[in-house]
Structure 1
Amino acid sequence: MGNGSHRSPYRNQIFKASNQKNSIMSKGKQFKETRTKLIELSNVAKQMRQKERLDMTINEILLKLIYNTNGATEFNTFAQWKELGYTILKGSKAFVIWGQPRTGNENKEETDTKRGEGEDDEYSFFPVCYLFSDKQVRKVEIAGVGAGKEIVLETNPDHSIDDIL
């Protein structure tokens, strides 16, 4: 498993699922397409888990074996990174995984109309979750500027605070 040989039988399926053209479309249609891609990648991950006897969740397989995460070690949502004092780097693309399953308190008619046509029941109660890695964020510092005013400064290793002031 360490030499990357586990990827080769699935490379074409992964490439096809993750590289479909993204045309300009409504948010609803784009969301459905994102969800469809995630279902396809999840099915590949399930095949990998069965054939390779991996003791990992589908989300772990997506993040560790399918997506190119460039050695990232920590993943959080936008809101979680913001709460930790970080900002997402411009141009960063989220890693799409499955969120916590929804509870069954919606009535069946509402659920059926919200679910996309032909969507696998297996995934119907799982929302899509967008994560960013530790390689896609920058620490934000807050510096006091007298009289209760604050200014937010983004940390940039190429500049010091003296360059900004």
Structure 2
Amino acid sequence: MSKGKQFKETRMKLIELSNVAKQMRQKERLDMTINEILLKLIYNTNGATEFNTFAQWKELGYTILKGSKAFVIWGQPRTGNENKEETDTKRGEGEDDEYSFFPVCYLFSDKQVRKVEIAGVGASKEIVLETNPDHSIDDIL
């Protein structure tokens, strides 16, 4: 399956889940966002308390466990202008249309990561480089 087709399929599933979340919010009068409902009530998060993107976990010094599947939610809406050239009498030529786009965001929970431990980090060992006058750079190369 191509990445474009897989992305469209993921987006369509997220739209379906969001519709279920909207219905739950209306029926049960929940004071939660769609993303909160997805993470707390629809997805099986096994009691996870923290969610971050791959890059955020990496920045915090964690790595994602092999085989972990991301939780798909809506990202921050983005707005932009789309320049449409129409010869419609109602619109001027080259008039910009403003639009909103909700990107898809992939999150991993605190249950899907482990702390990366780098050897020697945090240790009080000092690395000392010694030079040997009997060797030259040509000996190494």
What TM-score results when the alignment is normalised by the length of structure 1?
Answer: 0.63
2: CA distance, partners of 1:150 / 1:47: 60
C-alpha displacement of 1:105: 3.4
Task: Say which of 89, 92, 95 aligns to 1:116.
Answer: 92
Question: Alpha carbons of 1:87 and 1:102: their partners in 2 closer, same or farther (altered >3 Å)?
Answer: same
The residue aligned with 1:95 is: 71
Q: Which residue, 46, 53, 57 being the options, matches 1:81?
A: 57
Compared with structure 1, are the counterparts of its residues 157 and 117 closer, same or farther at alpha carbon in structure 2 (3 Å cutoff)?
Answer: farther
Q: Is the 8 A contact 1:98 1:128 kept in 2?
A: yes
What's the CA shift for 1:142? 1.9
The equivalent of 1:133 in structure 2 is: 109
Task: Say how many residue pairs are matched.
Answer: 141
Q: Which has the higher strand share?
A: 2
CA contact (8 A) 2:81 2:96 kept: no
Distance verdict in 2 for CA 1:78–1:115, change over 3 Å: farther
The 3-state SS of whatever aligns with 1:121 is: strand
Shift of 1:153: 23
1:144 is displaced (CA, Å) by: 3.0
Contact 1:39 1:123 in 2 (8 A): no
Aligned identity (percent) is 99
Q: Which runs of no fewer than 5 residues in structure 2 stay unpaired?
A: none
SS of the equivalent of 2:39 reads: helix
> Is contact 2:75–2:105 with CA below 8 Å preserved after alignment?
yes
Q: CA offsets per residue over residues 46-86 of structure 1, 9 Å max, x none?
A: 00000100000000000000000000000000000000000
Deviates more, 1:155-164 or 1:41-50: 155-164
The answer to which structure has the higher helix fraction is: 1
**Pairwise CA RMSD:** 11.7
2:84–2:94: 8 Å Cα contact kept in structure 1?
no
Alignment deviations for residues 96-120 of structure 1 (CA, whole Å, 9 cap, x no partner): 0000001223445899999999999
Distance 1:71 1:158 in 2: 62
Quick one: distance in 1 between partners of 2:43 and 2:106? Answer: 13
In 2, the alpha carbon distance for the partners of 1:123 and 1:89 equals 37
When Rg is computed on C-alpha atoms for both structures, the one with the higher figure is 2
Greater relative contact order structure (CA < 8 Å, 6+ sep): 2
Inter-CA distance 51–124: structure 2 relative to 1 (3 Å threshold):
same
Give, in whole Å, the separation in 1 of the partners of 2:23 and 2:56.
31
Q: CA deviation at 1:143?
A: 2.2
* Paired residues of 1:140 and 1:154 also in contact (CA < 8 A): no
The 1:93/1:148 distance shift into structure 2, 3 A limit, reads same
Which secondary structure state, in structure 2, belongs to the residue aligned with residue 150 of structure 1?
A: coil
